[in-house]
Amino acid sequence: TYEIKKAKSISSSSTATCLCLENDFTTEFYLCGTTSNILCQKKGLEDPIFLTSDKVEVNNLEFTQIATTTPSIQINLKIDYKNPADRSEYRASVNATSTASLRSY
């Protein structure tokens, strides 16, 4: 949410699964990787940075602009622990929802 708060604006190229923020450069948040289940952040022309571990997979990522007068973004995220042996004691999942507003717009 820090990157959202310090952004100048939300880019019109943002989608429900890719958040594009405008500052001195564009910052993007999206799912990447060979199976598109890693949360990534990309700043300007830099290579993407993985924000999640290779031990988990992101199975839901949604960005919703919920206000325009004070631009605000709601983030819905579901992360599951990779459990290749499918052992019940290792099953873990988290659903998170958060909202952040731009401070300068």
8-63, pLDDT tens digit by residue? 999 999 999 999 999 999 999 999 988 899 999 999 999 999 999 999 999 999 99
Tell me, what's the pLDDT at 21? Answer: 95
Phi-psi region of 95 (alpha: psi -120 to 50; beta: other; left: phi over 0): beta
Could you give the CA distance from residue 57 to residue 85 in angstroms, rounded to a whole number? 15
Q: Provide the residue ranges of all domains of the chain, joining segments of one domain with +.
A: 2-101
Confidence bin at 105 (pLDDT 50/70/90): low
Confidence bin at 2 (pLDDT 50/70/90): confident
Kindly report, residue by residue over 92-103, the tens digit of the pLDDT. Answer: 999 999 999 998
What mean pLDDT do residues 56-83 have? 93
